[in-house]
Amino acid sequence: MYKIGHFVGGARIEGMSGRHSDIFNPATGEVQGKVALASADELNAAVENAKAAQPDWAATNPQKRARVMMKFVDLLHRDMDKLAEALSREHGKTLPDAKGDVIRGLEVAEFCIGAPHLLKGEFSEGAGPGIDIHSVRQPLGVVAGITPFNFPAMIPMWKFCPAIAAGNAFILKPSERDPSVPMMLAELMMEAGLPAGILNVVNGDKGAVDGILDHPDVHAVGFVGSTPIAEYVYTRACANGKRAQCFGGAKNHMLILPDADMDQAVDALVGAGYGAAGERCMAVSVAVPVGEETADRLMEKLTPRVENLKIAPYTAGDDADFGPLVTKEAHARVKGYVDKGVEEGAKLVVDGRDFSMQGYEDGYFIGGCLFDNVTKDMTIYKEEIFGPVLSVVRAKTYDEALDLAMTHEYGNGVAIYTRDGDAARDFASRINVGMVGINVPIPVPLAYYTFGGWKRSGFGDLNQHGPDAFRFYTKTKTITSRWPSGIKDGADFVIPTMG
């Protein structure tokens, strides 16, 4: 049994509130550790620590800040296996998937090595008579990130790497379900040369979240989680005058046109629909074959693949396709959605509800579930399930399939499988979804582009990583200068112009 407190002032500290949350092993259902839940005083102490450290860090030149990121990337490579094992132990995802989690965060850290270039302003010489104008980007001060359980390495790094590279101090409130990796990342940042106090990890529940949202010295908040909470965080942060970027739920569609390579489409659906037990905001949860013949061919190939998915604890290594769900509550919720789908008339072609593994009967495992003949009025179509459940919605035409994705309340990711370049181009142009894949099932952009959904999948006007991250974590100052030579005497009561 291990205990996790907080990371403040460059070191791990014990929690002092007397409140803790259990950390479960999802494969066995056993409690393996406890994580402290911060009090308001503990959160305030972390913010004060960050506030005191931030001015000197902001005054450090961007090249030196970038060198910390360079070293951090090296350390992530060094400790990849250790990070992945800790991540899998608490989350349940397979080791290869856990390494992917770390690598996608590492790639953002690599992008942040370019901070000196990304923080450059603009300059105009001779903008007016003897007048030059230039702009600079300056850090906000203390900023915060509230991150989810499903990517305990990647999403924290998406938040704190650009914020810190831009000269801010950062308060990270990770999920209390799998808190080990965020603590390890903070230690690696210290080893990389980050000054104490610039990255603080405060573990907690809603009290810690509200404390961050209400704290006058926290100037920006990034959040990833469910849509109701994303909207809550965004609304409360904005009401308190903070900058906010909040990303919520998803219902990602994949259209399969009659000319698609069906083997490729099925491979894509199996990996994107069931990887990480479906606990990804970019998971494909709705397949939309166009035409009955296409749908029948899809189901013929897809059904046996889902029936033969390999489900096992992370200790099975590369032999597992996915592992357990993260908690007992998540298991009950997903099973309830499958029950609801059957009740509302969808055809359950593959039923994974009764999956059990010898020796792991108390784990939070559920087998892959596959529905056919799902309609858009059904609960399993309208709501995010966040589990290994794929719904097939048959569309008669391309326009009907397009309309399904366009009229859904979520707009995180979408994909199309086709050999028709004209159809793909039309799809990419018309679809009102933030991230689009053409023969790519999970269209998560690389680190030098931005990640963000539309509609009720995202709140705020700036996205995660890429150039948007540096815009979000900085404010622009514009300086107009003129030196005494040639300045006429006397006051001018007319608004300045450059004519």
Is the predicted pLDDT of residue 188 greater than 70, yes or no? Answer: yes
Residue 96 lies in a domain: yes
pLDDT band, residue 232 (cuts 50/70/90): very high
Report yes or no on 404 lying in a domain: no
* Model pLDDT for residues 300-312, shown as the tens digit of each residue: 999 999 999 999 9
What is the per-residue pLDDT for 135?
A: 96
Model confidence over 245-302: pLDDT tens digits?
A: 999 999 999 999 999 999 999 999 999 999 999 999 999 999 999 999 999 999 999 9
- pLDDT tens-place string over residues 22-58: 999 999 999 999 999 999 999 999 999 999 999 999 9
Q: Let me know whether 381 and 430 are in one domain.
A: yes
* Residue 405's pLDDT band (cuts 50, 70, 90): very high
By residue range, what is the domain housing residue 169? 2-248+457-479
The rounded distance, in Å, linking the Cα atoms of 2 and 83 is 16
In a domain, 291, yes or no: no
More confident site: 111 or 488? 111
According to the model, what pLDDT value does residue 288 have? 98
The total number of structural domains that make up the chain: 2
For residue 293, being part of any structural domain is answered with no
Q: Write out pLDDT tens, residues 422-454.
A: 999 999 999 999 999 999 999 999 999 999 999
- Of 29-43, 67-81, 123-137, 337-351, which gets the smallest average pLDDT? 123-137
Q: Are residues 421 and 464 in the same domain?
A: no
Q: Tens digit of pLDDT for each residue in 145-181?
A: 999 999 999 999 999 999 999 999 999 999 999 999 9
List the catalytic residue out of 112, 161, 246, 281. 281
Same domain, yes or no, for 229 and 280? Answer: no
232 and 279 share one domain:
no
CATH number for 193: 3.40.605.10
Q: Give 76's pLDDT tier (boundaries 50, 70, 90).
A: very high
- Do 150 and 280 sit in the same domain of this protein? no
Buried b (16+ CB within 10 A) or exposed e, 233-270: bbebbbeeebbbbbbbbbbbbbbbbbebebeebbebbb
Q: Say if 326 falls within a structural domain.
A: yes
pLDDT at 487: 62
Q: Is 434 found in the same domain as 461?
A: no
pLDDT of residue 486 exceeding 70, the answer is no
| pLDDT for 122 | 95
Which residues, listed in sequence order, are joined to residue 370 by a DSSP beta bridge?
350, 390
Residue 253 lies in a domain: no
Residues 154 and 69 in one domain: yes
Can you give the pLDDT at residue 497?
72
Residues 428 and 468 occupy one common structural domain:
no
pLDDT over 70 for what percent of the chain? 99
Residue 214: predicted pLDDT: 98
- What is the share, in percent, of the chain residues with pLDDT greater than 90? 94
Residue 387 has pLDDT above 90, yes or no: yes
pLDDT tier at 494, thresholds 50, 70, 90: confident
Asked if 192 and 326 sit in the same domain, the reply is no
pLDDT of residue 130: 86
277 and 225 fall within a common domain: no
Rounded to whole angstroms, how far apart are CA atoms 281 and 249?
Answer: 6
* 464 inside domain: yes
Is pLDDT at 327 greater than 80 in this prediction?
yes
- The two most distant CA atoms of the chain are separated, in Å, by 91
**In the structure encoding, which two tokens stand for residue 373, read together?**
């003949």
Whole-angstrom distance, CA of residue 97 vs CA of residue 252: 20
Q: Is pLDDT above 90 for 498?
A: no
Give me the residues paired with residue 371 across strands: 348, 391
The chain-wide mean pLDDT, for the chain, equals 96
Active site residue 369: no
pLDDT for res 100 = 97
* pLDDT of res. 149: 97
Alpha-helical (H) ranges within 153-312 are 154-165, 180-191, 206-214, 227-239, 262-274, 292-307
* Residues ≥6 apart with Cβ < 8 Å to 367: 309, 311, 350, 351, 352, 353, 354, 355, 388
What is the distance between the alpha carbons of residues 486 and 66, in angstroms, rounded to a whole number?
42
The reply to whether 162 and 280 lie within a common domain is no
219 and 311 co-located in one domain: no
Quick one: pLDDT at residue 499? 61
Do 284 and 415 contact (CB within 8 A), yes or no? yes
Position 270 scores a pLDDT of: 98
Residue 292 lies in a domain: no
CATH number at residue 333: 3.40.309.10
